[in-house]
Amino acid sequence: MYHRHCFTFLPCSHFLAIVVLLLLSPIGAGASDLSGGSEHSLANGAADQPWGYAWGSNQSGQIGNPSAGRNRKFPIRWSRWTGASAAAAATPSATNDDWVQVASGGQHSVARREDGTVWAWGKNEFGQLGDGTTANRQEPVQVSGLSHVIAVAAGKSHSLAVKQDGTVWAWGNNSYRQLGNNSSDTALTPTPVVIEVPGTDTSPPTFPPLTGVVAVAASEVHSVALKSDGAVWAWGDNDYGQLGTGNTFSSATAKLVPGLADVRVITAGGDSTSARTLARTGDGALWGWGNNEKCQFGQETAETHVKTPLKLVDLSRIGAISALASGLGHGVALTADGQVWTWGDNQNGQLGDGTSTSRCMPMPVSGVSEVERIAAGDRHTLVTQRDGAVRAWGKNEYGQLGDGTASDSGTPEAVKGVCGVGQLNLTGAPPETCRLTLEKIGNGAVNGGGDYADGDTVTLTATPDAGNYFARWTPYPCAASFKMPASNLVCTATFFSTETVSYVLTLKTAGDGRGAVHGAGRYTTGERVILTATADPGSLFDGWSPSPCDAAGGQFTMPASDLTCTATFSDSAIKLITHYYVSILEREPEADGLAYWKGLIDERQAAGEDAKPVFRNMAYFFFNSPEYIGRNTTDRQYITNLYLTFFQREPDEGGYAFWLEQLANGITRNDAMSGFLYSPEFTSFMENLGF
């Protein structure tokens, strides 16, 4: 049975999968490339266009420009030749610095240059960027010690690379042995994937490197390699048989998948609750193994956990498949005639059939044709057409469809162009800047419009004519000085005649957090006011005061008097630390304790490191303290405390039943707490707070 909870005692998260195209030869400089991350998307331009594009979630800097925390609903561009943002990009030259392949992880991105080097950016909690640190990076950094690389792939929090000599290198999170280096330790720099050669009575086993590899794929918890002889090898977690070895034993070294030959295409998908592997052989047959609870194989199977390669008759019937992609619970195939087929989970419309109904049967996607590349994110799907157009459908909470909205789409939508103008086309040159247009209401002069790159500082001036005065700039973020967004923008200056009676609206901030406010100026009585408050990273917006400023959405009509509105921002770390004290220990924090935990969080954030481990340590410390243990809570009270502490909600009955059963069966309370602390819901909750 498929659970919406992540019930595991090891780190787990919802996740995407990696698509591996027909890769008996690596992607070359003449091709565009496409990749779907958990909640962001990447695209690479054609060979004569030096631009890569990124859009969607940017919580950890995974879209590759210095604006971490700002999600992008339109594509931004960066130079494939330099790795720089658009504003710093040089004119393309005849060098081998062209970025020819991109891969998206949970919150990090990886790219391969034609010179054989590998670069990465975004989240680095487990060293998945491979630069020897755990500091997040908003712009590309070179992966240490790698050269002559011909292919890359990214799991949720680990990365893979294939070198010209056929060896595979892995780095990042290794909780599930997904690095295949005969260890379970995190690796901050690339380590070789190895195989185990059994020892003898007189000699121990040896662990030489896996060789002969031409392509790799990864889920959150396991990794797969395709060798030039058509054999498939796999390593990592094996709870659902996703290694194809006939059992559910995980492996820290690469294992040969038996019963397969002449494999041409591989893909790996899912997370710790849904991992599986698919392959296509030279005769056109499709094979699958691992988790099939959501019909990820494109057909129902007698067993939902398939431990050896199973020939997929229904999927094999759709035609000559040239590429496969796997999301969290859905599958995508590209046939030689340019048609896209989908199957599996459809909760967010990721199958592209206009419904949210999941299905086992592979069906063609209407509205796209002559498709060249496919990719699958966690719950969204991407394609590029032969004319260079990019289309997307499915989940769009973070703008990962690139259509300028945050609304899911059950049918293919055109990805907008840079600045939201036109449609993205990988064969054409994008605009270098976004257009700022100035308009005015009343009598006066305005200056400062023009073309700006994303993030440029804009300075606007508004000079009233004689007998007039300047009232305000609208809408947000228009102001006397602001940062240009990644979209075209129209700013309007309002002027009033000196005979017009208006009142001053002043904005202030309060609290221990920080943020920006917008909407100040002069308004006439009864005029509509729209206030905007944007919290800085690490802060939370708590609301406006007093009345009428506290109206829903910050929208109200101006009274017949001057007015001061105050936006209160709280420090998210202090607020969450206080919540842990109150929820677990049932008291307010003492000053020393608050300062101690806040100091640890500040220290990690200053170094660009993930702060969630501090909160996990705090939770273990509080729940195992004499102060909590002395309350002698029942199991039901304990589970309630976990839900209220980590998710800030009451438990649902399904969750209650599951965890009470687990505790009754003998797992420890700390094991149960680990299931919460490494769950997708906890991760999402914390990341929404900026951690």
Whether cis (ω within 30° of 0) applies to the bond prior to 430 is: no
pTM for the complete prediction?
Answer: 0.74
Mean pLDDT value across residues 403-409: 93
Map out the domains of the chain with their CATH numbers.
18-89+102-414 (2.130.10.30), 434-571 (no CATH), 572-688 (1.10.3130.20)
Q: Write down the pLDDT at residue 20.
A: 43
Q: Write down the pLDDT at residue 67.
A: 66
> Per the structure block, which two tokens stand in for 683?
């991760």
Q: Write down the pLDDT at residue 488.
A: 87
**624 pLDDT more than 70:** yes
Residue, of 4 and 116, whose pLDDT is higher: 116
Lowest mean pLDDT among 23-27, 234-238, 254-258, 411-415: 23-27
**24 pLDDT more than 50:** no
Taking the C-alpha atoms of residue 262 and residue 577, their distance in angstroms, rounded to an integer, is 56
**680 pLDDT more than 80:** no
pLDDT-derived band at 70, boundaries 50, 70, 90: confident
> What rounded mean pLDDT belongs to the chain?
89
Per-residue pLDDT tens over the stretch 170-192: 999 999 999 999 999 999 999 99
**655 pLDDT more than 90:** no
Residues above pLDDT 70, as percent of the chain: 91
> Per the structure block, which two tokens stand in for 199?
């020892």
pLDDT-derived band at 525, boundaries 50, 70, 90: very high
Nearest to 55, CA basis, from 39, 34, 35, 40? 40
DSSP β-bridge partners for residue 376: 381
pLDDT-derived band at 688, boundaries 50, 70, 90: confident
Transcribe 150-184 into DSSP letters: EEEEE-SSEEEEEETTS-EEEEE--TTSTT-SS--
Question: Which residues make Cβ contacts (< 8 Å) with residue 242, sequence separation at least 6?
Answer: 219, 221, 222, 234, 236, 268, 270, 275, 276, 277, 289, 290, 291
Please name the residue ranges forming H helices in 237-346: 313-316
Q: Write down the pLDDT at residue 171.
A: 99
Nearest to 548, CA basis, from 540, 536, 534, 560? 560
Per-residue pLDDT tens over the stretch 106-152: 999 999 998 999 999 999 999 999 999 998 998 899 999 999 999 99
pLDDT-derived band at 66, boundaries 50, 70, 90: low
Contact 89, 430 (CB under 8 A): no
Q: Write down the pLDDT at residue 314.
A: 86
Per-residue pLDDT tens over the stretch 420-468: 888 999 988 777 778 999 999 999 999 999 988 777 899 999 999 999 9
Q: Write down the pLDDT at residue 14.
A: 35
Contact 324, 276 (CB under 8 A): no
Lowest mean pLDDT among 55-69, 198-212, 435-449, 644-658: 55-69
> Per the structure block, which two tokens stand in for 28?
């070359």
Per-residue pLDDT tens over the stretch 629-649: 999 999 999 999 999 999 999
**23 pLDDT more than 50:** no
Lowest mean pLDDT among 14-18, 49-53, 385-389, 668-672: 14-18
Per-residue pLDDT tens over the stretch 47-63: 767 678 999 998 888 98
Q: Write down the pLDDT at residue 85.
A: 42
For residue 2, the tally of other CB atoms under 10 A from its CB is 12
Residue, of 388 and 99, whose pLDDT is higher: 388
Taking the C-alpha atoms of residue 531 and residue 552, their distance in angstroms, rounded to an integer, is 10
Q: Write down the pLDDT at residue 5.
A: 29
Per-residue pLDDT tens over the stretch 78-108: 755 444 444 334 333 334 457 789 999 999 9
Are β-strands 359-364 and 305-311 bridged in parallel, bridged antiparallel, or unpaired?
unpaired
pLDDT-derived band at 69, boundaries 50, 70, 90: low
Mean pLDDT value across residues 213-220: 96
pLDDT-derived band at 538, boundaries 50, 70, 90: confident
**231 pLDDT more than 50:** yes
Q: Write down the pLDDT at residue 610.
A: 77
Burial class (CB in 10 A: 0-12, 13-18, 19+), 626: exposed
**262 pLDDT more than 90:** yes
Q: Write down the pLDDT at residue 348.
A: 95
Give all strands (DSSP E) within 105-231, no chain letters: 108-113, 118-122, 137-142, 149-154, 158-163, 168-172, 187-192, 213-218, 222-227
Q: Write down the pLDDT at residue 88.
A: 39
**41 pLDDT more than 60:** yes
pLDDT-derived band at 68, boundaries 50, 70, 90: low
Q: Write down the pLDDT at residue 4.
A: 29
Lowest mean pLDDT among 6-20, 289-303, 420-434, 592-606: 6-20
Residue, of 89 and 476, whose pLDDT is higher: 476
Residue, of 19 and 5, whose pLDDT is higher: 19
